[in-house]
């Protein structure tokens, strides 16, 4: 664990992507389904997941997309990235979605499909 960007608790199943994510234009806000066919998680839903991806890229308006997902109850329960970027950090801050940054080794060891708990106030943040 390198850093907590947005505090909080969450539980869910890990959805892991190898692609940096441009939230604007890549996810259906009503369903949470990824519709950018260039992404390895094309057609999968990020709703209620622990969404793990390297970092956000592209449009600064992606922050509003994250906020909209939360308002529509289609947001991930938490986000875990390798690198912090302002779009994802600020989107999660406004939407109250816990967000943490992990080391490269930790990122590599996170397994897709596994259920985990996050608690930024606890000693073991990932369980």
Partner 1 sequence: MELTKEEQAALNGEMGESLKTAYRILVATGEATNAEKLVPIQWAHLSGVNYNTIGDSGEEFLSILSKDAKVKVKTTLNPMGFDIDNVSKYNLDQNFIEKQQSIRDSYIRMGVDPTFSCTPYEIYDLPEKNTQVSFAESNAAIYANSLGNLKTNKESAFSALASALTGKSPYSDLRKENTESSTTIRMKLENPNEMDFGLLGFFAGKVADTSVSISGVAKPDKRSCKSLCAGMGTSGTCAKFDFVGEEDNDSEKVDFGKEEMNNIFDELNTTESGDIITLGSPQLGLDELSDLSSMLKGRAFTKSCMIFCPRAIQNQARKLGYTNEIEKAGGEILSDCCTCLTPLINKDETDAVTTNSVKAAYYLKNSTGVDVNLKSLSKIVEEDTK
Q: Which spans of this chain sit near partner 1 (rule: CB under 8 A)?
A: 3-6, 20, 22, 24-26, 29, 36, 55-65, 67-68, 70-72, 83-87, 89-94, 99, 101
Q: In this structure, are residues 26 and 39 in contact, taking their beta carbons and an 8 Å threshold?
A: yes
Complex with partner 1: residue 4 or 125, whichever CB lies closer: 4
Minimum Å gap between C-beta 114 and partner 1 is 26
Minimum Å gap between C-beta 111 and partner 1 is 25
Q: In this structure, are residues 116 and 61 in contact, taking their beta carbons and an 8 Å threshold?
A: no
Show which residues are catalytic. 59
Complex with partner 1: residue 93 or 125, whichever CB lies closer: 93
Q: Of 98, 1, 7, which Cα lies nearest the Cα of 50?
A: 98
Minimum Å gap between C-beta 48 and partner 1 is 18
| Per-residue 3-state assignment (H helix, E strand, C coil) for 87-117 | HHHHHHHHHCCCEEECCHHHHHHCCCCCEEE
């Amino acid at each position: 664990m390198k850093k907590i960007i947005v505090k909080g608790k969450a539980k869910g199943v890990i959805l892991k992507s190898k692609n940096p994510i441009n939230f604007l234009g890549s996810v259906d806000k009503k369903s949470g389904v990824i519709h950018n066919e260039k992404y390895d998680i094309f057609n999968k839903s990020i709703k209620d997941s622990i969404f793990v991806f390297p970092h956000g890229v592209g449009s600064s308006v992606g922050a509003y997309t994250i906020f909209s997902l939360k308002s529509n109850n289609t947001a991930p329960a938490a986000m875990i990235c390798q690198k912090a970027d302002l779009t994802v950090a600020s989107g999660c801050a406004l939407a109250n979605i816990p967000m943490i940054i992990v080391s490269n080794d930790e990122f590599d060891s996170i397994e897709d499909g596994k259920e985990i708990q996050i608690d930024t106030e606890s000693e073991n943040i990932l369980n």
